Amino acid sequence: QGRNDLSMSLVGAVGAITSGVVLGWIGFTGLALVVGVAVIATVLLAPYGRIRQAA
C-alpha cells in the first residue's frame, strides 16, 4: 500500500508541474481551445457509446 501511495503522489506531483508548464506555454486561450476540441469530440462521439447490436 505504501508503494502505491508513493507512486500516486509522485504522478500527481509530476502532473501538477507539467500542467503548470503547459499552461504557461499555451496560456488560457490555448487551454480553452484544447478543452473545446475535447468537449466537441466527446459530444459528437457520445452516441456511438450507446449503440448496441440486436441479438
pLDDT digits (tens, 9 = 90+) for 32-52: 999 999 999 999 999 888 776
pLDDT for 30 beyond 70:
yes
* Mean model confidence pLDDT for the chain: 90
pLDDT score of 54: 60
- The predicted model scores a pTM of 0.56
Q: Is residue 51 a contact partner of residue 43, using CB atoms and an 8 Å limit? A: no
What is the DSSP code string of the chain? -HHHHHHHHHHHHHHHHHHHHHHHHHHHHHHHHHHHHHHHHHHHHHHHHS-----
